[in-house]
């Protein structure tokens, strides 16, 4: 189809995964004489005027190997005026220029002429949002802090990198992939993970970006913390788990507590930690621990774990199994009956780490079931 009948539009940034216009077809390929660079500020879609993000633009490069891969969209004659007006508005700060587009080799026989003439949006160095070259490390820092109408700036980088791996898996976009690596490294270093080993396993209660199964070392999970609110009352507290080091039945070197680490969204970390501080207010404090993922290909990393201290007023400490079971079987708080907490935790651990023993948890589960059966029988009689 010739240019008198339709137009082609080349996407090399967000247009790849979010064209937001009607098109008849799209094909993979590249344009030459440019390189893709994150040299354009964005204070609307991926940033704000106070914290502008960085998005891709094309920069002239006359070296022989310079090419930029992306997608060309065929827009019909009937739609082209409205589509171009829409894109002109979307790409404010960018100039619409015409360039040659080379479809992927296997598609040459499917296109009437090659190269194709395509419209491309390229920012001008005169534009107020043109930032120009900057150290990759500095660009990554800008991207980490930015979020706009269309989402976090980091998401833009990751989606573009993923898209390019699909479109041109054998091509290297050194600037894009190096920037992706920088952002990932910085994101990991500044990220906050929270370790769940109790009710956080089935009742997270906050958004998270990622979860990872694994364990921490040097602790045992014990029902030694009193619950005067969620699983009991001040007069009749329930028992919930905490992490303890002083146990007689194991060598500290062999102690492991399995659970889940949750990666908190960067822009909500402070809010979520405040919520958790309130949720764990009856005796728990934040501690930093080393978390070991179940996937051995992943390295260990730091997590925050809420642990009660023995000197807090709600700490109950050890007791005979029968005594703890009867207390759990009969306590009830504003959130649940205490035995429901125990059963849900046991169920969660069987799903999470079915081959990992947790003698204290499962022995207590069995004993509480016995007590409940006794109470049910006595009530029936």
Q: What is the pLDDT of residues 287-335, one digit of tens each?
A: 999 999 999 988 898 999 999 989 999 999 999 999 999 999 999 999 8
Assigned token pair, 127: 């534009």
Bridge partners for 212 per DSSP = 261
DSSP secondary structure letter of residue 101? E
* 6-190 shares its CATH topology with 193-380: yes
Specify the higher pLDDT residue, 9 or 255.
9
Locate 12 and state its tokens.
């090399």
Helix axis angle, 321-330 relative to 338-352, nearest 10°? 110
Q: Cis omega (within 30 of 0) on the bond before 115?
A: yes
**Digit-coded pLDDT (tens) for 71-101:** 999 999 999 999 999 999 999 889 999 999 9
Bridge partners for 258 per DSSP: 215
Q: How many CA atoms lie within 13 A of 159 on its CB side?
A: 17
Tokens of 270: 């402070």
Taking the domains of the chain in order of start, what are their residue ranges?
6-190, 193-380
Mean pLDDT of the chain: 91
Question: What would the pLDDT profile of 11-63 be if each residue is shown by its tens digit?
Answer: 999 999 999 999 999 999 999 999 999 999 999 999 999 999 999 999 999 78
Element (H, E) at 184: helix 174-190
Task: Enumerate the active-site residues.
Answer: 280
Pairing of strands 116-123, 94-103: antiparallel
pLDDT at residue 186 tops 90: no
Region of 109 (left: φ > 0; alpha: ψ -120 to 50; beta: rest) is alpha
Which token pair is 130?
A: 């043109």
State yes or no: pLDDT of 217 exceeds 60: yes
What's the confidence (pLDDT) of residue 107? Answer: 47
**Residue 108 pLDDT more than 50?**
no
Q: Hey, which CATH number is domain 6-190, 3.40.50.150, 1.10.3720.10, 3.30.565.10, 3.10.490.10?
A: 3.10.490.10
Decide if 244 contacts 222 (C-beta within 8 A).
yes
pLDDT at 145 over 70: yes
SS3 239: strand
> How wide is the angle at C-alpha 335 spanned by C-alphas 334 and 341, nearest 5°?
130
Residue 379 has pLDDT above 90, yes or no: no
Q: C-alpha distances in angstroms, 122 versus 15, 38, 66, 135, 172?
A: 13, 12, 16, 21, 21
pLDDT (average), residues 269-283: 93
Contacts of 349 (CB under 8 A, 6+ apart): 201, 258, 356, 358, 361
Please give the class, per CATH, of domain 193-380: alpha beta
Over residues 182-211, the mean pLDDT reads 92
| Confidence at residue 248, expressed as pLDDT on a 0 to 100 scale | 64
């Amino acid at each position: 189809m010739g240019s008198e009948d339709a137009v082609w539009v080349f996407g090399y940034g967000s247009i790849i995964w979010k064209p937001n216009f009607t098109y008849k077809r799209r094909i993979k390929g590249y344009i030459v004489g440019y390189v893709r660079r994150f040299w354009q500020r964005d204070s609307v879609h991926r940033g704000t005027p106070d914290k502008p993000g960085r998005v891709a633009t094309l920069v002239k490069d006359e070296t022989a190997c310079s090419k930029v891969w992306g997608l060309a969209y065929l827009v019909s004659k009937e739609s082209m005026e409205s589509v171009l007006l829409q894109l002109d508005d979307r790409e404010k700060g960018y100039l619409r220029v015409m360039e040659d587009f080379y479809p992927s080799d296997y598609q040459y026989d499917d296109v009437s002429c090659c190269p194709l003439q395509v419209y491309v949006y390229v920012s001008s160095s005169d534009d107020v949002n043109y930032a120009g070259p900057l150290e990759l490390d500095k660009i990554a820092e800008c991207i980490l802090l930015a979020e706009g109408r269309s989402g976090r700036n980091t998401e833009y980088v990751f989606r573009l990198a993923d898209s390019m791996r699909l479109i041109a898996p054998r091509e290297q976009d050194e600037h894009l992939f190096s920037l992706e690596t920088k952002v990932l490294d910085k994101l990991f270093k500044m990220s906050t993970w929270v370790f769940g080993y109790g009710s956080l396993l089935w009742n997270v209660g906050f958004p998270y970006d990622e979860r990872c199964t694994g364990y921490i070392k040097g602790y045992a999970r014990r029902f030694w913390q009193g619950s005067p609110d969620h699983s009991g009352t001040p007069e009749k507290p329930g028992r919930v788990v905490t992490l303890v080091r002083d146990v007689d039945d194991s060598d500290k070197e062999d102690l492991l507590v399995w659970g889940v680490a949750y990666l908190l969204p960067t822009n909500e970390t402070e809010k979520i930690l405040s919520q958790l501080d309130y949720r764990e207010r009856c005796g728990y404090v934040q501690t930093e621990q080393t978390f070991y993922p179940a996937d051995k290909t992943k390295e260990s990393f730091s997590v925050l774990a809420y642990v009660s201290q023995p000197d807090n007023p709600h700490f109950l400490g050890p007791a005979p199994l029968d005594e703890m079971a009867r207390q759990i079987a009969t306590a009830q708080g504003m959130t649940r009956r205490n035995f429901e907490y125990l059963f849900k935790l046991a169920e969660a651990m069987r799903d999470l780490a079915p081959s990992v023993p947790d003698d204290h948890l499962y022995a207590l589960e069995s004993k509480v079931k016995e007590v409940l059966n006794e109470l049910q029988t006595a009530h029936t009689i």
